[in-house]
Amino acid sequence: VAHLTYLGLYALQHRGQESAGMAVSDRESLTVVKDMGLVSNAFDDRTLATLTGDLAIGQTRYSTTGSSTWRNAQPVYRGVDHVEFALGHNGNLVNVEQLAAECGMLPGTVTSDSDLVAEMLAMELAGRGDMDPGEAFDEALTEVLPRLHGAFSLVLADHDRIIGVRDPNGFRPLCLGRLDSGWVLASESPALDVIGAHMVRELDPGEVVVIDDTGCRSFRPFSDEDVDPRLCLFEFVYFARPDSVLYGQSVHHARVRMGEMLANHAPVEADLVMGVPESGIPAAEGYARASGIPYGQGLVKNRYIGRTFIAPTQALRSAAVRMKLNPLRDNIEDQRLVVVDDSIVRGTTTRAMVRMLRAAGAGEVHLRVSSPPYRWPCFYGMDTGARSELLAANLTVDEIREYLEVDSLTYLTLDHLLEATGAVGAGFCDACLTGTYPVEIPVNLSKGVLEAGDGPPPERSMPVHATDEDNELPTQAAGRLFGRD
């Protein structure tokens, strides 16, 4: 099972590159191995050979609440009475300080929101030592989960079961798959594909799935009023793999449709359509198809460089851009280019890329973006920084065009983006585009809010529809989740 989990983590490497870990049960004990860096850094053949068992979870971390350290790498482990368990988390909780205070925790007791959830579950389990472990876990989850506010797709493992949890808004994806020999939980369907599992379904918002020797069952600890599906729209735009299925729709096909809509609503005379590798390529293909302008490659990506957007600091993002992309001079010299990208968040990659194309001899550069302007920070699992760091929060579209040094600039509208997903009538979170947050958030949370020395944030709250203040982002996203029994 460790080798299958390793393959699943590899398929989800794009969701987090700061650390990776795995917890494996042999039905008597739970072994957790984690390390900083990529999956290939954390595990080798010798390590995998020591992880014997038939039940496992794994995670690749992209930090938001809680700094990028070994202690905060996941899965998180807890042992209490006769129960030990491990937890992996994808998302970001927005009420961590309140929860820590309610539990009587001093700063530094827990150092990430994922660690906090594990500690809360351990506290609940400690009072149920005389119960059947399965019943105790069900009760502990029923007590703890409704108290969590924000985004949390979770996987948990103890000696005998794997549990999957999706928050009542379903901000982050989580799906269920089937193997001949067992069940699989994963953030995205390609993790199922790589091990030969077939996808059964996506977990519903507010659903808990329990997998043990008796099979697979589910229950729903949240009230009907709390369940409000709001899958992150940026999963379709950027975060998810193109071969993933979300809301029953192909992410690749959705991105192609985004490009087709851009071509129909923002045409331009040009010689070549090119996509910004990798996530801008499907939309570029769609733009070329709808416009009749030839599609070609204008930039070569160094495949050994990770995703620039999710590097944890601005300095790392800037350095990564220079190493990540290089222009194909023969293809772009003296050409009028339509450059299609999925989004512009900070502008880090885009401005440097445009200057590369100009230096390589591009005649004109027309930028087309397959999402609306990104104006608001994400509080639900993406580390996008303060509003002052977001280009579209501070400049008009024309000012952005001047700053990026392009000949023309057009964004896809929100209505067209929603239409392109193909998920008619589905609920989405578009807070980063509109400023309307489905779950109320406190202001001025920091990445280290739970860590000693960070200090408490001011006692005030952001309304559900945010103002134009330069609000700080509380940051943590944790897990890229994978488990099997």
Q: pLDDT tens digits, residue range 308-363?
A: 555 556 666 656 677 888 999 999 999 999 999 999 998 978 998 999 999 999 99
Mean pLDDT for the chain overall: 88
Residue 61, burial from CB neighbour count under 10 angstroms (0-12, 13-18, 19+):
buried
pLDDT digits (tens, 9 = 90+) for 166-217: 999 999 999 999 999 899 999 999 999 999 999 999 999 999 999 999 999 9
What is the residue whose two structure tokens read 């059947």? Answer: 132
Report whether 374 contacts 309 (CB < 8 A).
Answer: no
Report pTM.
0.88
Pick 423 or 192 by higher pLDDT.
Answer: 192
pLDDT of residue 91: 95
- Number of helical (H) and strand (E) elements in the chain, helices listed first: 17, 25
Residues 255 and 213 in one domain: no
pLDDT of residue 177: 98
Q: Is residue 262 part of a domain?
A: yes
Distance CA 357, CA 333 (A): 9
pLDDT of residue 442: 81
Average pLDDT of the residues in 81-107 = 90
pLDDT of residue 46: 94
Indicate whether 69 pLDDT > 80.
no
- Give the pair of three-digit tokens for residue 452: 């000693």
Tell me the β-bridge partners of 93: 150
Structural domain that includes position 59: 2-230+477-484
Residue 389 belongs to a domain with what CATH number? 3.40.50.2020
Q: Is residue 239 part of a domain?
A: no
pLDDT of residue 127: 82
Distance CA 389, CA 381 (A): 17
Q: Is residue 461 part of a domain?
A: no
Residues 313 and 364 in one domain: yes
pLDDT of residue 30: 96
Residue 217 belongs to a domain with what CATH number? 3.60.20.10
Tell me the β-bridge partners of 20: 35, 60
Residues 205 and 321 in one domain: no
Report whether 1 contacts 24 (CB < 8 A).
Answer: yes
Report whether 407 contacts 269 (CB < 8 A).
Answer: no
pLDDT of residue 189: 98
pLDDT of residue 128: 87
- pLDDT tier at 474 (50, 70, 90 boundaries)? very low
Q: Is residue 137 part of a domain?
A: yes
Indicate whether 62 pLDDT > 90.
no
Residues 263 and 205 in one domain: no
pLDDT of residue 68: 66
Indicate whether 469 pLDDT > 80.
no
Residue 318: HSE in the Cβ half-sphere, 13 Å Cα cutoff: 3
Average pLDDT of the residues in 38-60 = 94
CB atoms within 10 A of CB 84: 19
pLDDT of residue 316: 67
Give percent above pLDDT 90 in the chain: 73
Distance CA 292, CA 267 (A): 10
